[in-house]
């Protein structure tokens, strides 16, 4: 989905002050789907006002869920009239988290047609591990050019081993397992804070999940769950993006409403680069990022360095002294945006699709750009804010999918950025 709006940035302005972090996209979308496991009302607080949430609310409304906004990032979801037959295929194919619907849908209906889920174009993003997991749970899966068809006579507990760690795969099979018949064991699961928060919510509502926060989850299926109130955790990826902005622009910026515990590896990397910070229990203040040194960066599943802030940190490394090797290990197509940094004046050589060698520091110059995906998009915004001259960024739908109120937040710290509808 594209729109004609663009961001226009006058770079090089000093930034200062406080910037607040919103609720985590990758928890909010998942926990809101979990409302379908009960017929009671769910209240979700700290929901970011972003495009992915708007799309999900549309999908849930089509499915018969009564959604109401109670103001201030709080939503109430009433799934009493949930009808799996009204799945909006077009919308579902637009964002990755929609695949979580499969568990609740299969718990209530014997046959579900489902399109390949969308999301950012950062690699092939197959769903083979989801399909294998569902097969183990007694679901038969067939596929034509457009749709998968899932058929089940009731989900059965199973032993499922993920050959590779998958965030949405873990969450999807967790939602399927909580009401399946018998015991499910999920091996080699993702341990991202958003996965843990989802599992904790489910347990609060009557699910029986053991091993939360470890690599093995053991789930005893229950017949019914309740719904209740849930607070979305702070978005560690938004916080990490602002951290990269503060350091790249060498600004005294305080990032508030965040959980630094979720960013221990990126914070340590910044300390090694020579950034001076004050880390409190729910804020991080960048004091100075003078004369920062290059560093290698290798993405890894949590608690390793998050792939979702690899692009913002690469922009930061263009301002560091020396050579940095950036190794993207999670997605095979998540370094192609470095081409736009080179067009702005960076010195980056692609060794192979998953590794680049960057030599810094280099002054960046404003350019006309088009956002290819969410995280490369925010990297463009950061690059534009530290560059000389004007940067124009098109296809900003991709950025607004995941960053709440970005323009206002940036203006409040002194950035010169406007959104123009052409």
- Residues recognised as catalytic: 120
Q: Lay out the site mask for ligand EPU across 332-371 (x = CB under 6 A, - = otherwise).
A: ----------------------------------------
> Considering only residues 51, 308, 394, 400, which one is a binding residue for ligand EPU as defined by CB under 6 A?
308
11-70 residues near ligand EPU, rule: CB under 6 A:
26
Count residues near ligand EPU (CB under 6 A): 24
Site for ligand EPU in 159-198 (CB under 6 A): 164, 166-169
For 421, counting Cβ atoms within 10 Å of its Cβ (0-12 exposed, 13-18 middle, 19+ buried), the class is: exposed
Does position 241 interact with ligand EPU (CB under 6 A)? The reply is: no
Residue 268 burial (10 A CB sphere; 0-12, 13-18, 19+): exposed
Sequence-ordered strand ranges (E) for 251-364: 252-256, 276-279, 283-288, 297-298, 322-327, 347-352, 355-360
How far apart are the C-alpha atoms of 385 and 17, rounded to whole Å?
A: 15
C-beta of 127: minimal distance to ligand EPU in Å? Answer: 5
* Residue in 262, 248, 231, 319 with CA at minimum distance from that of residue 46: 231
Which of 7, 114, 242, 331 lies at the binding interface for ligand EPU (CB under 6 A)? 331
Strand segments, DSSP code E, in 11-125 are: 16-20, 42-45, 66-71, 74-78, 111-115
Chain centroid to Cα 177, Å, comes to 23
> Two tokens at 26?
């990758």
Q: 297 pairs with which residues across the strands?
A: 326
Q: How far apart are CA 58 and CA 161, in angstroms?
A: 33
Report in angstroms how near the CB of residue 259 gets to ligand EPU at its nearest.
17
Alpha carbons 212 and 194: distance in angstroms, whole number: 11
Q: How far apart are CA 250 and CA 296, in angstroms?
A: 20
Interactions with ligand EPU, residue window 85-144 (CB under 6 A): 96-97, 120, 123-130
Question: By Cβ distance, which residue is nearest to ligand EPU?
Answer: 168
Residue nearer to ligand EPU on the CB measure, 128 or 271: 128
* Residue number with CB closer to ligand EPU (179 or 375): 375
Long-range Cβ pairs for the range 228-231 (8 Å, 24+)? 228/40, 228/42, 228/43, 228/204, 229/42, 229/43, 229/44, 229/45, 230/31, 230/42, 230/43, 230/44, 230/45, 230/201, 230/204, 231/45, 231/46
Tokens read off for 289: 């990022």
Residues 397-416: x where in contact with ligand EPU by CB under 6 A, - otherwise, as a string: -----x--------------
Q: Which of 346, 339, 354 is nearest to 317 (CA)?
A: 346
Q: Which residues are within 8 A (CB) of 195 and not within 5 positions of it... i.e. 6 or more apart?
A: 167, 170, 171, 174, 189
Residues contacting 90, CB < 8 A, separation 6+: none
Q: From the CB of 172, what's the least distance to ligand EPU, in Å?
A: 9
Least gap, CB of 307 to ligand EPU (angstroms): 5
Q: Which two tokens stand for residue 36?
A: 């379908």
- Least gap, CB of 256 to ligand EPU (angstroms): 21
Angle at 110 between CA 107 and CA 113, to 5 degrees: 100
Name the residue nearer to ligand EPU (CB basis): 23 or 366: 23
Instruction: Return residues touching ligand EPU (CB under 6 A).
Output: 26, 96-97, 120, 123-130, 164, 166-169, 307-308, 330-331, 374-375, 402
């Amino acid at each position: 989905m594209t729109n004609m709006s663009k961001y226009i940035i006058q770079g090089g302005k000093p930034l200062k002050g406080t910037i607040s972090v919103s609720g985590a996209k990758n928890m909010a979308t998942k926990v809101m789907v979990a409302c379908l496991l009960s017929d009671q009302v769910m209240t979700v607080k700290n929901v970011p006002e972003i495009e992915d949430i708007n799309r999900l609310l549309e999908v849930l409304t089509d499915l018969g869920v009564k959604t109401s906004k109670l103001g201030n990032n709080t939503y109430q979801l009433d799934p009493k009239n949930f009808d799996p037959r009204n799945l909006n295929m077009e919308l579902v194919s637009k964002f990755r988290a929609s695949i979580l619907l499969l568990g609740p849908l299969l718990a209530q209906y014997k046959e579900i047609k489902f399109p390949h889920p969308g999301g950012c174009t950062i690699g092939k993003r197959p769903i083979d591990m989801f399909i294998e997991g569902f097969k183990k749970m007694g679901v038969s899966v067939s596929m034509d050019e457009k749709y998968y068809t899932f058929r089940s006579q009731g989900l059965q507990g199973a032993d499922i081993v993920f050959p590779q760690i998958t965030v949405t795969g873990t969450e999807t099979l967790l939602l399927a397992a909580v009401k399946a018949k018998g015991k499910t064991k999920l091996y080699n699961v993702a341990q991202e804070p958003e996965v843990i928060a989802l599992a904790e919510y489910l347990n609060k509502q009557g699910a029986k999940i053991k091993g939360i926060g470890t690599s093995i989850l053991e789930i005893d299926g229950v017949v019914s769950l309740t719904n209740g109130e849930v607070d979305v955790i702070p978005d560690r990826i938004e916080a990490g993006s602002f951290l990269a902005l503060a350091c790249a622009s060498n600004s005294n910026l305080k990032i508030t409403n965040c959980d630094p515990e979720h960013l221990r590896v990126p914070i340590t990397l910044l300390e090694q680069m020579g950034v001076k910070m004050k880390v409190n229990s729910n804020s991080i203040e960048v004091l100075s990022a003078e004369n920062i040194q290059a560093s290698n960066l290798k993405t890894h599943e949590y608690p390793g360095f998050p792939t979702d802030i690899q692009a913002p940190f690469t922009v930061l490394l263009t301002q560091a002294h020396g050579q940095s090797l950036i190794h993207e290990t999670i997605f095979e197509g998540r370094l192609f945006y470095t081409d736009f940094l080179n067009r702005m004046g960076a010195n980056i050589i692609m060794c192979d699709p998953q590794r680049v060698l960057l030599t810094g520091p280099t002054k960046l110059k404003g350019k006309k750009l088009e956002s290819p995906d969410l995280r490369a998009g925010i990297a463009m915004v950061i690059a534009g804010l530290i560059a000389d001259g004007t940067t124009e960024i098109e296809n900003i739908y991709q950025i607004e999918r995941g960053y709440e109120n970005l323009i206002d937040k940036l203006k409040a710290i002194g950035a010169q950025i406007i959104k123009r509808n052409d």
